[in-house]
């Protein structure tokens, strides 16, 4: 550098390995992505039920019986907890995925959008329970 010439450029690129452990925000993001797998697992459980239904009454009764096993109950508890975490994380990001909404010239707040998401969740849950009770043999 004493000769007045600039040192040769040698930009250093830092590695990305383990990036998601660097910030609690990234850990929460990864939990959101991981709990999406619980949604997939439950979709498979329900799909198996539909297939068993198509195979006849005995097959469907067997599927219902399997759902009542302790292992299945435990799985359902884990899936339910994952669903709650997933729903929470999704409603958290939901206002960022939507165009700006203006009501009477005023911008709709993110919290209002999140509350609407939870309200829809509660409404659908109540409807499903009501339908299940009504359809009970």
Partner 1 sequence: MTEPRTVELEVLRYRPERDSEPVWQRYTVPYSHDLSVLQALQHVKDELDGTLSYRWSCRMAICGSCGMMVNGKPKLACETFVRDLMPGPIRIEALAHFPIERDLVVNAEGFIRKLEGIKPYLIPLQPRTLEQGEYIQTPLQLERIEQFSSCINCMLCYAACPQFGLNPEFTGPGVLALLHRYNDDSRDGGRAQRMEVMNAEEGVWSCTAVGYCSEVCPKHVDPANAVNQNKVNSAKDYFLRFLQPRGAR
Residues that bind partner 1 (CB under 8 A): 1, 7-14, 16, 19-20, 22-23, 25-26, 29, 33, 92-93, 95-100, 102, 105, 107
Residue among 24, 32, 41 nearest 97 (CA)? 32
- How far apart are CB 111 and partner 1 at their closest, in Å? 14
Helix (H, G, I), strand (E, B) or coil at 120: helix
CB-nearer residue toward partner 1: 100 or 132: 100
Q: Locate 104 and state its tokens.
A: 């009477």
Helix (H, G, I), strand (E, B) or coil at 15: coil
CB-nearer residue toward partner 1: 68 or 96: 96
- How far apart are CB 99 and partner 1 at their closest, in Å? 5
CB-nearer residue toward partner 1: 11 or 70: 11
Backbone angles phi, psi at 118, to 5 degrees: -65, -40
Given a contact cutoff of 8 angstroms between Cβ atoms, the answer to whether 86 and 67 are in contact is no
């Amino acid at each position: 550098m004493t000769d007045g010439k600039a040192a040769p450029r040698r930009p250093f690129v830092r590695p990305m390995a383990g990036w998601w452990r660097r910030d609690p925000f990234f850990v929460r993001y990864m939990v959101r992505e991981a709990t999406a797998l619980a949604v997939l697992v439950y979709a498979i459980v329900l799909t198996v039920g539909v297939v068993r239904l198509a195979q006849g009454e005995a097959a469907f009764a067997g599927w219902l019986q399997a759902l009542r096993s302790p292992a299945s109950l435990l799985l359902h508890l884990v899936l339910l907890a994952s669903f709650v975490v997933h729903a929470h994380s999704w409603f958290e990001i939901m206002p960022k995925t939507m165009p700006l909404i203006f009501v009477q010239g005023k911008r709709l707040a993110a919290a209002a959008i999140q509350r609407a998401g939870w309200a829809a969740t509660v409404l659908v849950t109540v409807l499903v329970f009501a339908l299940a009770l009504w359809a009970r043999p």
